[in-house]
């Protein structure tokens, strides 16, 4: 039977990347996506911006919405201090199955908790079920029409504190117009756009970094 693109991406990682070496896993996926098949990872160019925001935030508790194959999961986890934790939510069980193997190959599994399910259902359970108080950093990279409702849900659930950072992928392409309008006009956020390109292409895209002001 035909393999899927995530399965072929995992195959490349297991064939070419060094076990336990997150940078090698990232490099292998970027090479696969440039030379073989495009895939919707945040990619190398926007990935550098993600790295700098993670490093600058120095977060203890991170939430990622939209795991896909685990590329940004590995990127973020590899930059976290020892006690820090990353919770990543993925709706699609096939993607989750691949991501778990990519995360383990990279050797960052001890810092990562991958939870399968819909973000709208799981966000309200973060405190009770996952022992989270607030998130220092949230990386939004899931369905683009869920960015705004899930942000409002995180506010309502008290998961954001003064200084929490929201970093959103794809605010230009595919685009998240309602989310952008909200974070750029709400008095509760200080927003900044990092211009870049859609992963592995010359099409404009960018990341929006928004600081929750409490
Ligand atoms: O749809 C995108 N991401 C949504 C991902 C959705 C994932 O989260 C929920 C769903 O189960 C899926 O696994 C996307 C699409 C493009 N694109 O160019 O089409 C580029 C990107 O960086 C993207 O994150
Ligand atoms: Mg994306």
Closest CA to 115 of 56, 131, 105, 107: 131
Maximum pairwise Cα distance, the chain: 53
pLDDT interval class at 82 (50, 70, 90): confident
Ligand whose nearest atom lies closest to the CA of 142:
1
Q: Is the CB of 170 under 6 A from ligand 1?
A: yes
Give the Å distances, CA to CA, from 175 to 59, 67, 119, 178: 26, 18, 19, 9
Residue 142 Cα to ligand 1 midpoint, Å, equals 5
Residue 39 CA to residue 44 CA, distance in Å, equals: 12
Q: Is the CB of 93 under 6 A from ligand 1?
A: no
Tokens representing residue 192 in the block = 């900044």
Residue 195 Cα to ligand 1 midpoint, Å, equals 19
Closest CA to 77 of 107, 98, 105, 48: 107
Which of the residues are catalytic?
141, 144, 169-170, 199
Residue 92 Cα to ligand 1 midpoint, Å, equals 11
DSSP 105-129: HHT-GGGEEEEES-HHHHGGGHHHH
- Helical ranges in 58-190 per DSSP H: 71-77, 93-106, 119-122, 126-130, 147-156, 177-185
Paired with 86 in beta bridges are: 62, 112
pLDDT 10s digits, 166-192: 999 999 999 999 999 999 999 999 999
Mean pLDDT across the chain, nearest whole number? 98
Paired with 64 in beta bridges are: 88, 139
Tokens representing residue 82 in the block = 């020892």
Ligand 1 atom 3: residue of nearest CA: 142
Tokens representing residue 141 in the block = 């990279």
The number of the ligand 1 atom at minimal distance from the alpha carbon of 43 is 22
Please say whether the beta carbons of 70 and 98 come within 8 A: yes
Q: Is the CB of 114 under 6 A from ligand 1?
A: no
pLDDT 10s digits, 97-136: 999 999 999 999 999 999 999 999 999 999 999 999 999 9
Task: Specify whether the backbone of 30 is left (phi greater than 0), alpha (psi in -120 to 50) or beta.
Answer: alpha
The number of the ligand 1 atom at minimal distance from the alpha carbon of 170 is 22
Tokens representing residue 36 in the block = 């073989």
The number of the ligand 1 atom at minimal distance from the alpha carbon of 143 is 4
pLDDT 10s digits, 1-48: 789 999 999 999 999 999 999 999 999 999 999 999 999 999 999 999
Ligand 1 atom 22: residue of nearest CA: 40
Tokens representing residue 186 in the block = 């709400």
Closest CA to 107 of 87, 78, 143: 78
Euclidean distance between the first and final Cα of the chain, in Å? 52
pTM of the model: 0.97
């Amino acid at each position: 039977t035909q393999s899927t693109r995530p399965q072929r991406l995992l195959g490349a990682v297991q064939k070419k990347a060094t076990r336990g070496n997150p940078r090698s896993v990232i490099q292998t996926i970027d090479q696969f996506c440039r030379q073989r098949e495009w895939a919707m990872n945040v990619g190398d160019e926007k990935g550098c911006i993600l790295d700098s925001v993670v490093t600058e935030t120095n977060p203890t508790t991170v939430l990622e919405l939209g795991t896909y194959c685990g590329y940004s999961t590995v990127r973020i986890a590899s930059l976290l201090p020892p006690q820090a934790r990353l919770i990543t939510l993925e709706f699609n069980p096939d993607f989750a199955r691949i991501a778990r193997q990519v995360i383990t190959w990279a050797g960052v599994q001890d810092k990562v908790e991958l939870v399968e399910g819909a973000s709208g259902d799981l966000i309200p359970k973060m405190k009770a079920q996952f022992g989270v108080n607030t998130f220092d950093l949230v990386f939004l990279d899931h369905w683009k029409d869920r960015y705004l409702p899930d942000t409002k849900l995180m506010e309502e659930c008290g998961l954001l504190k003064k200084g929490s950072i929201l970093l959103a992928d794809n605010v230009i392409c595919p685009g998240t117009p309602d989310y952008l309008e909200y974070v750029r006009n709400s008095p509760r956020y200080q927003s900044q756009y990092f211009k870049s390109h859609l992963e592995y292409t010359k099409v404009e895209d960018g990341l929006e970094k928004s600081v929750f002001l409490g």
